[in-house]
Structure formats: structure tokens, C-alpha cells
Amino acid sequence: MKLFQGSSQVSLHKESRRPGFMPGTRLLCLCIAISLISIQLYAKESEETGLLHRLKAVATELNAPFVYVGNLVTSPIRGASKLGDMSSASPSRIKELEEQNTALRRAVEELEEYKQEALRLQSLLEIQSSYQLTSQAARVIGSSQDSWSRTIMINKGSAEGFALGMPVMNAYGLIGQIEKLATHSSTVRLISDENSGVSAMVQSSRAEGIVRGSADGSLRLDYIPVDAQVKKGDVIVTSGMGGVYPKGLPIGEVVSVQKSSAALHYNIRVKPPKAAMSYEEVLVITQLNEPGNQPLASVQQQGLDEQMATSSTQDAQEGEVVPSDKE
């Protein structure tokens, strides 16, 4: 087999090139044109019916088994690193955790009592609990393939009744929202993604704002006015405004509250529970059973909550889901 044809042909071809043009210039122009058209088309088209979005959904579907295999292959390494973390816990830390566990057990028992009381009162008043959610469990099979987004891939999709925009939570609270949907897999954009935004409130003072992701993975709570009561350690929960996320799902707790001299709003950092950052199984909320709420599949038309990040300050303070240009 002749593998390379020799330098004489190379030099001949060099001479026959048109002066002033690098080889491949036309091809490059064509590729740039196609790319720019794709970028424009992707931004303009509908998330459900758009050609490129559907193409991405098909690719996600085809990609899912490979991602699953990759996850499987690397799981022993991840398991070993977790084992390392566990074995490195000091005796004092273990004691501290045991004490915390006992305290939490007591709190759970106490809360169970309150729950029973609340249920009795609710049945008296004939109102439904706001925590009656219809959800489906799904397994996390991979995370984002690029450095610029924080997403995870789960092993269920439209065939299981999932729809775009459905909220996703784990045992510790809210983690994100379905962003891309395929037949048997979905991509969830995490709330820690820079382009995410969740309507939230401070549990103790009920002050409302928007929780947004940031590049370092932490969360920040925006639009909390300086006259509101917020302190370190306060729990942040979803406010339920807009009907996309159910009310009262924990998001994290306040780790710092800062206020600039002439600022109208606090600069608040929120930290999600550490255990919430390791995703293995998640719950996708398919329906909010609050009075007057419709199934989430129809709520999806209101668009992803991340688009709230583009909303104006005034709208954000009112806690509305602001429609974006994509809707």
C-alpha cells in the first residue's frame, strides 16, 4: 500500500495554488457561515419543536448509553475516593456527627407530631397539603460534557411522562430543572449553573428574592431588600412563585450577608447542603398537587425558570416568572 506520495507532488501542488488564498479558506468560510446560522437558528427556534433542539435530543438519546458506560467504568474510582474521605474522618468529627444525628432524630420525632397536627387541621379546613407532590425517581447517569454548564443526565425522559421545565430534587432539596428532553433520558440544569434562577425566599423572614448559580458553584440570593431580616444560617426555600417549583423546597442556607453602603439589596451567599452535591438518584416532580395547580407538563409552556435570570429587578422582587424571548 502506498502511504505517502512523495515531495514532488507536494511542491507541484504548492505552485498550482491561487496566490493570496490559504488552502481551505473557502471551506473555512463555509463552515463559519454554517456555524453562525446554527447559532442564530438555535437561539431563535422553539425548544420543543425546533430542528436543532430535536437534533440535540436525538443525540442525547444516542449518547446516553455511552455516558452510562463511562459512569460505570469510573464508578470504582469515585467509590474509592469516597472511601478515602470516610476513612479520613477524625474521631471527634464522628462524635460530632453522632450528636448531630441524635438531635436530628429528636427533631424529626417532634416534626412528625407537628405534621400529624397539621394534617388534622388541614382535613378540618379541607385544604390539601402543599407537599403532596407527584414525582418519579430517576438515576443520574452522567454530568455535563463541557466546562461551561452544570448539568446532569438522568435515565428517564418523555416516555416516562417527563416534560421540559419539570423541577428535580434529591433528598436534600431542589437541585434543578429539566432542560433537555429525549425519549429515555433527560438533561437537568442544576441550580448552581450560572444561567439558572429560582424564585426563593428566606424561610424565617419570608423575604423573597432569586437564587442564582455562580461560576464557583456557590449560590447567591439576589434582590433581598436591605430592610429585610436575613442572617447567617437562615434557610432558603423555594417561594413557589410562578408555579414551576413547588413552595417550600429547601435550597440551602445563608453563609454570608453583605451590604454595600448605598445598595438597595443585600449581597447574600447561599450554600447548598454538602451531601446535596453528590447526585446519584433524583426525584422529578411531575405534578404539583396544590389547589388550582395544573400538571407540570402544561406549566412547561411558561419556560425554564432559568430565564428568570434575565428578568428585571422589579419583576424579580414581585416574584413572578418573567417570560423571556425564548418562550
Partner 1 sequence: MSAINQLSFSHTRFSLSSIPLSLWAFSLLMIVAHTTLGSQIVFGDARVNFMLILTLLWAFSYGSRAGVCVGFLAGLIYDLGSSTNFGVMMLCLSLLGFFAGMRQIMLFKEDIRLALIGGVLASAVLEALFGIVLIATGFKASLLSFVLYKFLPSTFLDLVFCVICFFAYTFFLGRQESSASYKGVRYRS
Interacting residues with partner 1 (CB under 8 A): 1-7, 9-10, 13-14, 22-25, 27-28, 31-32, 34-39, 41-43, 52, 55-56, 59-60, 63, 66-67, 69-71, 73-74, 142-151, 153, 179-180, 187, 189, 194-195, 214-217, 309
CB of 82 to partner 1, least distance (A): 15
The three grid cell numbers given for residue 37, joined into one nine-digit string: 446560522
Contact 174, 198 (CB under 8 A): yes
CB of 13 to partner 1, least distance (A): 6
Taking the least distance from each CB to partner 1, the nearer of 289 and 310 is 310
Taking the least distance from each CB to partner 1, the nearer of 149 and 155 is 149
Three-state secondary-structure class, residue 158? helix
Number of Cβ within 10 Å of residue 64's Cβ equals: 22
Number of Cβ within 10 Å of residue 153's Cβ equals: 24
CA distance 179 to 89: 37
CB of 28 to partner 1, least distance (A): 5
CB of 319 to partner 1, least distance (A): 20
Taking the least distance from each CB to partner 1, the nearer of 4 and 114 is 4
Taking the least distance from each CB to partner 1, the nearer of 70 and 323 is 70
Range 51-54 contact pairs with CB under 8 angstroms and sequence separation of 24 or more: 53/180
CB of 283 to partner 1, least distance (A): 21
Taking the least distance from each CB to partner 1, the nearer of 213 and 242 is 213
Query: H or E segment at 47?
Result: none
Residues near 158 by beta carbon (within 8 Å), at least 6 away in sequence? 181, 182, 183, 186
CB of 65 to partner 1, least distance (A): 9
CA distance 177 to 168: 5
Name the amino acid, one letter, at 297: A
Contact 307, 193 (CB under 8 A): no
Taking the least distance from each CB to partner 1, the nearer of 69 and 103 is 69
